[in-house]
Amino acid sequence: MGTEGENVRVIAGRYRLEERIGRGGMGLVWRAADQLLGRQVAVKELVLDPSLSAEEARLQRERTLREARAVAQLRHPHIIVVHDVVEDDERPYIVMELIDGGSLAERIAGRGPVDAREAARIGIDLLGALRRAHGAGVLHRDLKPANVLMEAGTDRVVLTDFGIAQVAGATTLTESGSFVGSPEYTAPERMSGERTGPESDLWSLGALLCAVLSGESPFRRDSLGGILHAVVVDEIRPPVQAQPILPVVRGLLERDPERRLDAAEAERLLREFLDTGRTPRAPVAYTPTQRDVPRRAVPPPEVPEAPTPPAALASRSSRHSARGVLIAAALVAAMAGAGVSAAALLMREGGNGSRTPASSGPSSPSASPSRPSAPGATVTVTRPPTTVPASATSRTVPSGYRLTHDPDRFSLAVPDGFTRSPQGERIFYMSPGETFRIGIKMSDPEPGGPLAVMRRSDADGPANNPGYHDGRVTETSHNGNPAALWEFTWNGFTAAEGPRHTYDLCWEEGDRMYDVWVSAPVGKEQESKEYFDVAVGTFVPG
């Protein structure tokens, strides 16, 4: 039984609760003295709601015990250590190591955001903690600045409050219909009620990195409905302070968990930034094999598909957004007291909005540098392409793409919703908003072949592409023909959109030279790489 003094309580005959130092995950946290071992500890006390039924109170106690079991099995310098679990007056307590120092949230509130190097250090430490937890089958599910402690004097990063942790095979509170977690830091797949995995914690880390760099989550809004809409639908805009590690932030904040940056790669990129001071990028080399075609490929359809109208949503990402509107609306409708109706939430759906007039893609071999169209200019689309059955070629067309027979006598698979835009000697297929640009150019062979052409383009890169950097030309082959792959990053068309990354393959086939490239904003390399591999893998001249 607990004993009472004038200002203290002793629980389990051993731990003297001295001072309340915080609250986390349905409990109060106390600074306490372990009278047996003579050391200071932190004790988390489950606070029971007196209005709960006996069954509900039992579920709360089980949750606390689950937290203790989940964390006690983990040993890592950046994960809180659990010393003991005790019960006193039918109330459970978790005894943990005491970290002198406040939370990361308190640090940001008191001292302001951190710089990119400190954010990278924090990110690396948390990635190590998450990798250890995930390796043991434990998901945190509530990663946010308030649940990260910063040890005074050493700045050691410590992940704590596994209060809603999920252990593999255990029943979770969400399965009984209650949503747990912090919406600003919750992955969209968790919002939708789908079965979640380690990728959901990595999304939360991406939001956390934005918060420590700018002072707030990119999904902060004035209402719960606004937050839900931002997480599952709105365009994600990382803060400008995230630019030095933008590929990591964008990779972690990828809505499709299958495309999300994994922990090992995120850690590698952050370490690269700390080592070099340069913005890292994830090089994904082109490998001219059928394996590059995404696993989602399906057998060719038996009949032609109708051309997708320009207003159609593009690619899997846009389809996720459309579905996300329904998810957000359903969540808001289900959460009583949110103050936002589902109808109002749906009214906010507007996509990414309009952008500047069409501009050409990145500079390609033997082509003069392109310039954005003048304001108000129109792009004439001549001889609209027709869609033909996938069986017209031996190439497999993945789900979400359509095989297009272009009027300029070539065919390739492009994502649903992409529209044709010829610009001089180059043909573009662009996503709505022109975020993704697939470019095609056909020409006569040039001296030295594709490798020489790409090397000349690389040498001319700074003149043709403002802010050109990280250019790399690799000799390869395509369909048994000489080829060269050129990758580079540049400043992009507008400051608002930011820098872009390009994959460009040039090869000779027959008596012609072909050039196929994909350009996309930095941070969207994974999706861009898929578009590139499919375009190259399904391209057929003639």
User: What CATH number labels 3-97?
Assistant: 3.30.200.20
**Residue 240 corresponds to which amino acid?**
V
- Between helix 263-276 and helix 198-214 the angle, nearest 10°, is 30
**Alpha-carbon distances, residue 501 vs 264, 455, 456 (angstroms):** 22, 17, 18
Q: In terms of C-beta distances under 8 Å and separation of at least 24 residues, what long-range contacts does 474-481 make, across chains too?
A: 474/285, 474/286, 475/451, 476/286, 476/288, 476/505, 477/288, 477/507, 478/288, 478/505, 478/507, 478/509, 478/536, 479/288, 479/507, 479/509, 481/507, 481/508, 481/509
256 catalytic residue (yes or no) = no
Task: Provide mean pLDDT across the span 140-161.
Answer: 91
Instruction: Pick the catalytic residue from 88, 115, 125, 142.
Output: 142
Q: Is-above-0.75 flag for pTM?
A: no
Overall fold of domain 354-541: Protein Transport Mog1p; Chain A (3.40.1000)
Least confident of 35-39, 139-143, 144-148: 139-143
- Between 46 and 441, the more confident residue is 441
Report whether 523 contacts 246 (CB < 8 A): yes
Quick one: three-class SS letters along 76-139? CCCECCEEEEEEECCEEEEEEECCCCCEHHHHHHHHCCCCHHHHHHHHHHHHHHHHHHHHCCEE
* Cα within 13 Å of Cα(447), Cβ side: 1
Measured between alpha carbons, how far is 475 from 473 in angstroms, rounded to an integer? 7
Q: Which of 83, 57, 58 is nearest to 71 (CA)?
A: 83
The two three-digit tokens of residue 76, written as one number: 């890592």
CA 431 to chain centre: 20
Buried b (16+ CB within 10 A) or exposed e, 196-208: bebbbbbbbbbbb
Q: Give CA 206 to chain center in angstroms.
A: 7
DSSP bridge pairs for 97: 41
Most trustworthy range by pLDDT among 12-26, 231-245, 288-302 = 231-245
Mean pLDDT of 44-54: 77
216-232 per-position pLDDT tens digit = 999 999 888 889 888 98
CA 125 – CA 329 distance, rounded (Å) = 36
Residue ranges, comma separated, of all CATH 3.40.1000.10 domains in the chain are 354-541
382-403 pLDDT, tens per residue? 333 433 333 333 457 888 899 9
Q: CATH 1.10.510.10 occupies which residues in the chain?
A: 104-276
Please tell me the number of Cα atoms within 13 Å of 45 on its side-chain side: 24
Closest listed residue to residue 314, CA positions, set 425, 222, 228, 430: 430
- Output the pLDDT for position 281: 72
Question: According to the model, what pLDDT value does residue 65 have?
Answer: 74
CATH superfamily, with its number, for domain 104-276: Transferase(Phosphotransferase) domain 1 (1.10.510.10)
Supply φ then ψ for residue 43, to 5 degrees.
Answer: -120, 125
Residues 128, 78 contacting (CB under 8 angstroms)? yes
User: Nearest to residue 218, comparing CAs of 200, 240, 198, 201?
Assistant: 240
Higher-scoring residue by pLDDT: 110, 313: 110
Write the CA distances from 115 to 111, 205, 210, 217, 484, integer angstroms.
Answer: 12, 16, 11, 16, 39
pLDDT of residue 106: 93
Model pLDDT for residues 341-384, shown as the tens digit of each residue: 322 332 233 333 333 333 333 344 333 333 333 333 323 333 33
β-bridge partners, 500: 490, 521
Distance CA 217, CA 102 (A): 19
Name the burial class of residue 264, with classes exposed (0-12), middle (13-18) and buried (19+) by CB atoms within 10 angstroms of its CB. exposed
Residue 291: is it exposed, middle or buried by C-beta count within 10 angstroms (0-12/13-18/19+)?
exposed
Q: Which pair of tokens denotes residue 263?
A: 């922990």
